[in-house]
């Protein structure tokens, strides 16, 4: 089962090539936490800038370097059903435990109920590992409706959804309409408390790259019924989360990693690293939240 | 203080004129509930279709017919600072306890931090009753940022915000950045559980027109720490709430009122009443939620 | 008939009150041009900040001060059918030749074909002057479809549409689907050449407040078949038009008026006048286009 | 030089595999027209559903089957600079004359001026054929500003832009800000007349798959100064163009091809072929425009 908190891990580059040694160092730090697993080449892994071969190498590398108790999920989806199946199965052979599959999105006006049913059913029928739907409207410009997710949750190889939307009503409705064992996963740390309170199974959170323990702690507090403590921790992380997602994106996340003892480095072009004044703003946000002294 | 659950009451019309007798009958039913007050001519009150004189008559009528324990809030805002002040003060004289003031929105690209500070400060300085900010992006096309709300919360006559957005991160950040006595009010029933769990002071909810007791019950369960019961009730109301808001809007709300023992009637033109198949869909949704037998 | 080029005239304020003397001076300058008329309280006239009484005074004043050959159009529309009819008829008594009626827009998701037919038919049936539809998606968040305009063009009191959208396909389709005597009016100077080439009857243009002769000249060149000259003039005005519309809005238009011999002054709050660096940018844009030496 | 009218050719499939024989038949028909060339795997070629290998085969096949006077452009862009360069150069070896490169778009909020400069410069520096920028906001959710295009037009290997937007002001401003030999290409047939009148160099038009002669004729009329004839033809094609683009998309285009003597066939899943009532609507639209008898 895939539950708990996972980071969609940032892909480190040096001179524009994947820096596997740095990735290994990051992983060894994360291995010591209670993260339940890792997502490779999600949106925060700069998936769209990676070649197919680089993606497979990442799966192989993380599989070898992660501690045994951690799960490994790979972001193998694209608009092409054929390529999605092929990459997912190749990833499975190298050790991926599940495939996180982005909604198709190029032909936006046609990506509705029927198209999503066809797409996800076709993929789920043909891949050897469980499928998790990935809904992220801010990047794709489309959104999958709760009714569609409900229908797809009947497929035995579709085990969950990562919903990267701050709309808690959307998330709650998905939880309400799907079976108890279907995994509804919070996709952004700003709604972790709210999502878990509503019954979500866990979180795949950019923030978990830099604040793994804090994210896990929120979940543990909730499981222990310590809601006030959970809420307080959540409140404290809101502005940090904004800084490494909507405000500064992947470059912000990587800069924060560099500041907090991980290797972040530069994003691949055309993304640009933070400039000086952005970095100062980030430092001040990290200090205010006590993540940085 | 203005806390708890309030309906933004639907304005009943017969032959296109306000049907005060029907409104009186609705109010006498709501008076028997634990609603904490009423909002007149909010978005669900068809405010934009009412004349200034009709608005003042509504305040006067509801003030006289509401039970003493209920508060009365009036939706007196418009883009014009001058007119907003004038209507709010005239409403105050007739018994409005607070003014719910919509964000100005016509010149969308300029309605940012500075403009909102100027607008709300100017209004709050000049009205004789407390001001509650009303943020409803789906109708206005603009949204007020948590940082702006934080700044405005320092004004002693600005006591709260109704945030009609399903983005729980936005709501949570407002709660986090404003003083404990600043009222953050949930603006749509679909996020009532999540919003109250995050620390919201109450809800102004279209759904409270037809399910006052259920909405109040969610709040009471949360206050009693009965989270599972609250969540269960919340889940059950999601699709009904969608039907009377995003799916069928004011015509849907009015049709539901007619089905559930209140007077709903027809909306003012150019809004159109539900057609037959929409009405049947609504009935089936109400039955599924057990609001209708 | 209402053809040719008209400015939606800016409303001048001094100490937040309408400065009728300054308006008179502006009008006397425009009277000497070949503008075919004036629009009072359109979007550029800060209509949403004006009281009903101020609007009627504006009609009365412009009617008295305009030269006889100019037409007078008033922006009398709002979401309320009743108020739209009332204001239009009161305006007609004071001299308005036609009413420019904004699409209703508050309940966005319901403002579709049927609602627009009902709204505009009801208004057109009950006002004593011809109705011109006003479609301006950037301010209203809704848009009226060409098919809907085609249907409305059958009403004998609906004589045209001002389409303030840079989508030339939308404008062309309206021209194609409506009778030859129906007036399709370009709503922004950036597409004046393209719109007139496609068969539009004229333009109601913010830019005509400051570049009346140039706008009229584009139209005359096209009527004379001097397309290259028209296009050259059009090209030269694009960045100026952007500066006084999408880039700096009404504050930009008013600043440009001050620079070019008209009275612009400050917009009403919460709009803010341009700051220094914005004003410098505007000056440089006006110089590049040779409107300013 | 790449001027004139080109279709972004639909990719025919039989049993989900590319039907090269059918493609050959289509090409032999288009070869007899005055189309100036072909675009392979543009948005209408279902590019996102094709594998890398299929794309290369398409280039090779079209190169061999097109008449000598036609140019061949390939839609080789993706968010990855590395992959874009690699595919463009492999395509060049197989006969592509130019590369049509989509704006990167995944990280929407960061895809602004600087990122576009970096992306397109890096690609243009490293590919062996000329680069044409491809701006299509409805699919990508981002748009490249005229100022950015102006800057990029200074690069000697960036020769033009296909602008698939109905905003004629945007297109006109690009023409105004770029050198005379920079190719501004209309990206949708609904604005062909307006775009060419404004100085565009040609059109890459979905509609040219089914109405090649008519599209070419509009251009020839304009070159001959026969504006009324051009406009009349343009008007007649508006609703057909809408049917095969915004209304029914690629499935609509393919259905129209089947009706008009070409092989269209079914789109790749998850796109679905038109249903019966959609097909009837399409037939009626084609008949009204006289493309179908």
Contact B115 C271 (CB under 8 A): yes
Instruction: Assign A2 a pLDDT band (cuts: 50, 70, 90).
Output: confident
Closest-CA distance, A7 to chain B, in angstroms, reads 19
The C-alpha of B191 sits at a distance from chain A's nearest C-alpha, in angstroms, of: 6
Catalytic positions of D, written as ranges = 162
Chains D and B touch, using 3 or more CB pairs below 8 Å: no
Helix axes C52-65, C20-31, angle to 10 degrees: 40
Angle between helices C249-259 and C276-288 (to 10 degrees): 60
Residues whose CB falls within 8 Å of the CB of residue A281, separated by 6 or more in sequence, listed in order = A243
Percent of all residues in chain B with a pLDDT value above 70, rounded to a whole number: 100
Q: Is residue A91 part of a domain?
A: yes
Catalytic residues of A, by residue number, are 162
pLDDT at D196: 97
Cis peptide before A49 (omega within 30 of 0): no
Question: Which residues does C150 contact at the CB level (< 8 Å), separation at least 6?
Answer: C174, C177, C178
**Residue B14 forms beta bridges with which residues?**
B17
Segments forming the whole domain that contains residue B113: 4-224
- Would you say residue A271 lies in a domain? no
CATH of the domain at B114: 3.20.20.70
For the whole model, what pTM was predicted?
0.96
Q: Are D218 and D196 in contact (CB under 8 A)?
A: yes
Cβ neighbours of D111 in A, within 8 Å? 270
Nearest-CA neighbor of D180 among D194, D166, D160? D160
Shortest Cα distance, chain C CAs vs residue B285, angstroms: 20
* Domain count along chain C: 1
pLDDT of residue D1: 66
Q: How far apart are CA A192 and CA A197, in angstroms?
A: 8
The pLDDT assigned to C2 comes to: 80
The per-residue pLDDT for range B29-80, each reduced to its tens digit, is: 999 999 999 999 999 999 999 999 999 999 999 999 999 999 999 999 999 9
What are B84's two structure tokens? 């907003």
Spatial CB neighbours of B123, under 8 Å, sequence gap ≥ 6? B77, B81, B84, B85, B88, B99, B101, B131
pLDDT tens, residue order, chain D (293 aa): 688 999 999 999 999 999 999 999 999 999 999 999 999 999 999 999 999 999 999 999 999 999 999 999 999 999 999 999 999 999 999 999 999 999 999 999 999 999 999 999 999 999 999 999 999 999 999 999 999 999 999 999 999 999 999 999 999 999 999 999 999 999 999 999 999 999 999 999 999 999 999 999 999 999 999 999 999 999 999 999 999 999 999 999 999 999 999 999 999 999 999 999 999 999 999 999 999 99
Peptide bond into D270 cis (omega under 30): yes
CA-based nearest residue in chain D for residue A83: D51
Q: Which chains touch B (3 or more CB pairs under 8 A)?
A: A, C
Position D258 in a domain: no
Separation between Cα atoms, residue A154 and residue A152, nearest integer Å: 5
Q: Would A277 be classed as within a structural domain?
A: no
Percentage of residues in chain A having pLDDT higher than 90: 98
d(C-alpha C18, C-alpha B289), whole Å: 56
Burial class (CB in 10 A: 0-12, 13-18, 19+), C258: middle
Q: Is residue B151 part of a domain?
A: yes
Cβ-contact A79, A104 below 8 angstroms: yes
The pLDDT, as a whole number, for residue A1 is 66
Interface test mutation site (partner B, options A178, A186, A194, max chain B beta carbons within 10 A): A194
Check if the beta carbon of residue A217 is closer than 8 Å to that of residue A18. no
Nearest-CB residue to D172 (from C172, C227, C235)? C235
Beta-carbon contacts of residue B189 (< 8 Å; ≥ 6 apart): B203, B205, B206, B207, B208, B211, B215, B237, B241, B245
Residue B234 lies in a domain: no
Cα–Cα distance for residue pair C231/C227, rounded to 1 Å: 6
Instruction: Identify whether A270 is preceded by a cis peptide bond (ω within 30 of 0).
Output: yes
Cα dihedral sign for A187, A190, A194, A196? positive
Cβ atoms within 10 Å, residue B17: 10
What is the C-alpha separation between A40 and A98, in angstroms, rounded?
11
Q: Which residues of C have a CB under 8 Å from any CB of B?
A: 43, 48-51, 78-83, 104, 106-111, 114-116, 118-119, 122, 138-139, 141, 246, 249-251, 268-272
The interface pTM score, or ipTM, of the predicted complex is 0.95
Those residues of chain C whose CB sits closer than 8 Å to some CB in chain D are: 166-170, 172-173, 175-176, 188, 190-191, 193-194, 197-199, 227, 231, 234-235, 238-239, 242
Whole-angstrom distance, CA of residue D211 vs CA of residue D254:
13
Kindly report the backbone phi and psi dihedral angles of residue D274, in degrees, each rounded to the nearest multiple of 5, phi listed first. -60, 145
Residue B292 within a domain = no
Closest by Cβ to B80, choosing from C49, C108, C109: C49
Beta carbons of A271 and D115 less than 8 Å apart = yes
Query: How far apart, in Å, are the Cα atoms of B263 and each of A221, B55, B109, C230?
Result: 46, 19, 40, 61
Q: Do C249 and B110 touch (CB under 8 A)?
A: yes
Query: Residue A145: its pLDDT value, please?
Result: 97
In a domain, C230, yes or no: no
Size of interface B-C (CB pairs under 8 A): 93
Q: What percent of chain C has pLDDT over 90?
A: 98
> What average pLDDT does range A159-186 have in this prediction?
96
Whether cis (ω within 30° of 0) applies to the bond prior to B270 is yes
Q: Phi, psi at residue A99, to the nearest 5°?
A: -115, 130
**Per-residue pLDDT, C1:** 66
Q: Which of C17, C164, C270, C274 should one mutate to test binding to chain B, selecting the residue with the greatest count of B CBs within 10 A?
A: C270
- Say how many CB pairs under 8 Å bridge C and D: 72
C199-215: pLDDT as tens digits:
999 999 999 999 999 99
Q: Are C179 and C13 in contact (CB under 8 A)?
A: no
Give the chain C residue nearest D177 (alpha carbons). C235
Residue D239: its pLDDT value, please? Answer: 92
Q: What is the rounded distance in angstroms from the CA atom of residue B181 to the CA atom of residue B201? A: 9
Question: Residue A150 corresponds to which tokens in the numbers above?
Answer: 């409900």
Question: Are C194 and D190 a contacting pair at CB < 8 A?
Answer: no
Q: Look at strands C98-102 and C71-74 and give their pairing.
A: parallel
State the number of CA atoms in the 13 A half-sphere of B194 facing the CB: 33
Residue B1 pLDDT: 66
Tell me how close the Cα of A289 comes to any Cα of chain B, in angstroms. 13
The pLDDT of residue B271 is 98
CA B207 to chain centre: 9
At B2 the pLDDT is 80
C chain contacts of residue D231, beta-carbon cutoff 8 Å? 197-199
Interface of A with D (CB under 8 A): 43, 48-51, 78-83, 104, 106-111, 114-116, 118-119, 122, 138-139, 141, 246, 249-251, 268-272
Burial class of residue B89 (count of CB atoms within 10 Å of its CB; 0-12, 13-18, 19+): middle
């Amino acid at each position: 089962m895939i539950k708990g908190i996972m980071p969609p891990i940032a892909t480190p580059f040096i001179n524009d090539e994947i820096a596997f040694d740095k990735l290994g160092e990051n992983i060894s730090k994360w291995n010591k936490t209670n993260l339940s697993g890792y997502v490779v080449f999600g949106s925060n892994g700069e998936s769209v800038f990676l070649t197919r071969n680089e993606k497979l190498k990442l799966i192989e590398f993380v599989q070898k370097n992660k501690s045994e108790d951690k799960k490994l999920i790979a972001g193998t989806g694209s608009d092409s059903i054929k390529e999605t199946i092929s990459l997912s199965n190749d990833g499975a052979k190298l050790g991926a435990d599940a495939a996180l599959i982005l909604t198709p999105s190029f032909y936006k006006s046609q990506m509705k109920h029927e198209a999503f049913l066809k797409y996800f059913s076709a993929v789920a029928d043909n891949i050897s590992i469980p499928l998790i739907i990935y809904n992220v409207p801010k990047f794709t410009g489309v959104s999958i409706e709760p009714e569609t997710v409900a229908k797809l949750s009947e497929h035995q190889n579709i085990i969950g959804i990562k919903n990267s939307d701050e709309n808690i009503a959307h998330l709650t409705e998905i939880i309400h309409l799907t079976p108890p064992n279907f995994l509804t996963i919070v996709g952004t740390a700003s709604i972790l408390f709210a999502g878990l309170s509503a019954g979500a199974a866990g979180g795949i959170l950019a923030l978990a790259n830099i604040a793994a323990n804090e994210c896990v702690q929120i979940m543990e507090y909730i499981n222990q019924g310590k809601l006030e403590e959970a809420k307080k921790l959540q409140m404290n992380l809101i502005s940090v989360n904004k800084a490494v997602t909507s405000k500064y994106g992947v470059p912000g996340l990587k800069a924060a990693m560099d500041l907090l003892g991980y290797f972040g480095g530069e994003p691949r072009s055309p993304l640009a690293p933070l400039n000086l004044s952005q970095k100062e703003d980030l430092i001040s946000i990290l200090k205010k939240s006590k993540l940085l002294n």
